Amino acid sequence: MHPGASSAERCWPIESFAIVATQILNKFPDIDIELLGGAGEIERNNQLIQLLLPFSERVINSAGKTNLKQLVEKIASLQCLIVGDTGPLHIAIAVKTPTVVMFRGMKHAAGTRPLQDLALHKVLIAEEGADLSSIKPDDILKEVYEIISSE
């Protein structure tokens, strides 16, 4: 998961990430969750970890701990990346890592959403004028389950 972004309006609510992570960790006992991000996203990831304390041994905060080469390698090794419109999304597209990606409207998705390998990339777009919170955890989980079960 990459819960952060360059600005607050581009971030899906941390509580929504917690709901999704909890459901995944409950449903798939053999799956761990790694939280990606830059040094500026460490605190946001720590907030999410606080909401996931019962699963603390299965949640890793890698924010600020990778250089670009390591981040590319890490993203390439993931089963699925849940992400907004951020740099890691574009890395995932390039290395063909399946994604569930959120955009805050079609005008924000135009030109930046995945245009190839559409079977790998599940794109959820908030209605125009709505923020990312209009995308519900169940919407994300449906797509994640589809990706994980197809492997």
What is the domain-level CATH number for residue 140?
3.40.50.2000
Q: Does residue 2 lie within any of the structural domains?
A: no
Q: Does residue 50 lie within any of the structural domains?
A: yes
Average pLDDT (92-97) is: 95
pLDDT band at 107 (very low <50, low <70, confident <90, very high): low
83 pLDDT exceeds 60? Answer: yes
pLDDT band at 128 (very low <50, low <70, confident <90, very high): confident
Please give the structure tokens belonging to residue 58.
């299965």
Percent of the chain with pLDDT over 90: 70
The pLDDT assigned to 3 comes to 95
Q: Does residue 85 lie within any of the structural domains?
A: yes
Q: Which residues, 6+ apart, have CB-to-CB distance to 135 below 8 Å?
A: 12, 16, 102, 124, 126
Q: Does residue 91 lie within any of the structural domains?
A: yes
Number of domain units in the chain: 1
Query: What angle (nearest 5°) sits at the alpha carbon of residue 108, between those of residues 102 and 110?
Result: 100
Q: How many CB atoms lie within 10 A of CB 116?
A: 8
Given a contact cutoff of 8 angstroms between Cβ atoms, the answer to whether 99 and 88 are in contact is no
Convert the pLDDT of each residue in 56-67 to its tens digit: 899 999 999 999
Q: Does residue 56 lie within any of the structural domains?
A: yes
Q: Does residue 99 lie within any of the structural domains?
A: yes
pLDDT band at 106 (very low <50, low <70, confident <90, very high): low
| pTM of the predicted protein model | 0.91
The pLDDT assigned to 104 comes to 76
Please give the structure tokens belonging to residue 147.
């990706």
Mean of all residue pLDDT scores within the chain: 90
The pLDDT assigned to 99 comes to 95
Please give the structure tokens belonging to residue 26.
């409950």
Q: Does residue 77 lie within any of the structural domains?
A: yes
**Residue 74 lies in domain:** 8-149
Q: Which residues, 6+ apart, have CB-to-CB distance to 69 below 8 Å?
A: none
Please give the structure tokens belonging to residue 98.
């399946």
Q: Does residue 88 lie within any of the structural domains?
A: yes
Average pLDDT (103-124) is: 70
Better pLDDT: 6 or 65: 65
Pairing of strands 59-61, 121-125: unpaired
